[in-house]
Amino acid sequence: MPTSPLPPGSTLGILGGGQLGRMLSQAASRLGFDVVILDPEAGSPAGRVSARQIVAAYDDPEALSELGRSCDAVTFEFENVPAASVERLAGSGARVAPGPLALSTAQDRVVEKTFLNDAGAPTVAFASVDTVEDLKAAVQTLGLPALLKTRRDGYDGKGQAWIRSPEDVETAFAAIGGRPAILEAAADFVRELSVIAARRADGEIAVYPLGENSHAGGVLRTTIAPATASAGTQARAHEIASAILNGLDYVGVIGVELFELADGTLLVNEIAPRVHNTGHWTQDGCVCDQFEQHVRAVVGWPLGPTAAHARIEMTNLLGDEIEQWPALAAAPDVRLHLYGKAEARAGRKMAHVNRVMGPA
């Protein structure tokens, strides 16, 4: 991949028109770039704040060719974009980041966990599952409770089922549609952490402070950052993030979700090859937020500073919680980030708020 920086006035393409694409587009515009969105939904949240949107499926050959021709660099906002589409863009000579390897690795949980362990970023024990018989054998090996997940496509708690007794095996396999899966041993963790990191094509790496996360129903509710953590824990998270970035020859921002065990050990839960919900705190806690950082990495600019100047509590607003916006907009210690979505469905991420808790 080229390492020379693209000048302001260049065009950045983004596969995906949701809230992450919207915030990426806003960051790119602030740096002087034009943005083209490819998304199948006309008038997408990202499309409405960008120079142009191509309305087409992510695997549409003509749309991908048009995107590649009209953009100096291309990135994506979520990991379920077809890896073949990214390969097609890269094969045509487009500057694409992150690359197909990162995307294909993150799209398959078995491949992902195998890569992580090989890279020195340990995970819980796991087993690949294709049939009910595979699942029964895996339960015997890993023990219970254990978490069954589809190998592909699951997010925000979807495509998952807990197995707490042998009688749950067939029900759990049916609950995920009998699809190829992974069984993960339960992690006896004391808290969930995450680290947001970035890498340029020349190998430069920048890592943000740890965030501490709380989930409900498989969906992130809050992140507090910087998390209270020892220097050793911070250093280990930095080491894990760097090993992942270098192992994937990664370019861009990545989110790494971690389990902290009682003895301080960090295990990787999963990676997200993109800007990440747990990094939204950086918008109001850092000089260079994760969205600007991703754009900088993709277009070859120097990476920005990652030190926190404020401690932030980020809270997702789901569904009709968006109706709280008048009160939140009036709060002196809150900054409101709205996603421009028309319909407030139950559980849908509509916005987030960053509450300033004081200096970092």
Q: What residues contact 96, with CB distance under 8 A and at least 6 apart?
A: 1, 73, 74, 75, 86, 89, 90
pLDDT at 128: 97
Which ranges of 119-259 does DSSP label H, i.e. alpha helix?
A: 132-142, 169-175, 231-247
Long-range residue pairs from 85-89, CB within 8 A, at least 24 positions apart, any chain: 85/15, 85/58, 85/59, 86/15, 88/61, 88/64, 89/64
The predicted structure's pLDDT at residue 272: 96
Q: Full-prediction pTM beyond 0.85?
A: yes
At 92 the pLDDT is 82
- pLDDT, residue 275, reads 98
Which CATH architecture is the domain 125-185 placed in?
2-Layer Sandwich (3.30)
Query: What is residue 155's predicted lDDT score, i.e. its pLDDT?
Result: 64
Q: What per-residue confidence (pLDDT) applies to 1?
A: 62
- Bridging pattern class, strands 146-150 and 252-261: unpaired
Rounded to whole angstroms, the Cα distance separating 66 from 73 reads 13
Low-confidence ranges of the chain (pLDDT < 50): none
| pLDDT value at residue 217 | 85
* pLDDT in the model for residue 145: 96
Q: Which residues contact 87 (CB under 8 A, 6 or more apart)?
A: 100
Fold assignment, 11-96: Rossmann fold (3.40.50)
Query: What is the DSSP secondary structure assignment for residue 317, as one 8-state letter?
Result: E
Q: Which CATH superfamily does the domain covering 189-359 fall into? A: ATP-grasp fold, B domain (3.30.470.20)
Does a cis peptide bond (omega within 30 degrees of 0) precede residue 5? no
DSSP designation for 96: B
Burial pattern 323-357, b for ≥16 Cβ within 10 A else e, equals eeeeebeeeeebbbbbbbbeeeeeeebbbbbbbbe
Cα-Cα-Cα-Cα torsion 125, 128, 134, 139, nearest 10 degrees, comes to: 20
Contact call for residues 97 and 76 (beta carbons, < 8 A): no
What residue spans define the domains of the chain? 11-96, 125-185, 189-359
Residue 156 CB neighbours (<10 A): 14
What's the confidence (pLDDT) of residue 108? 95
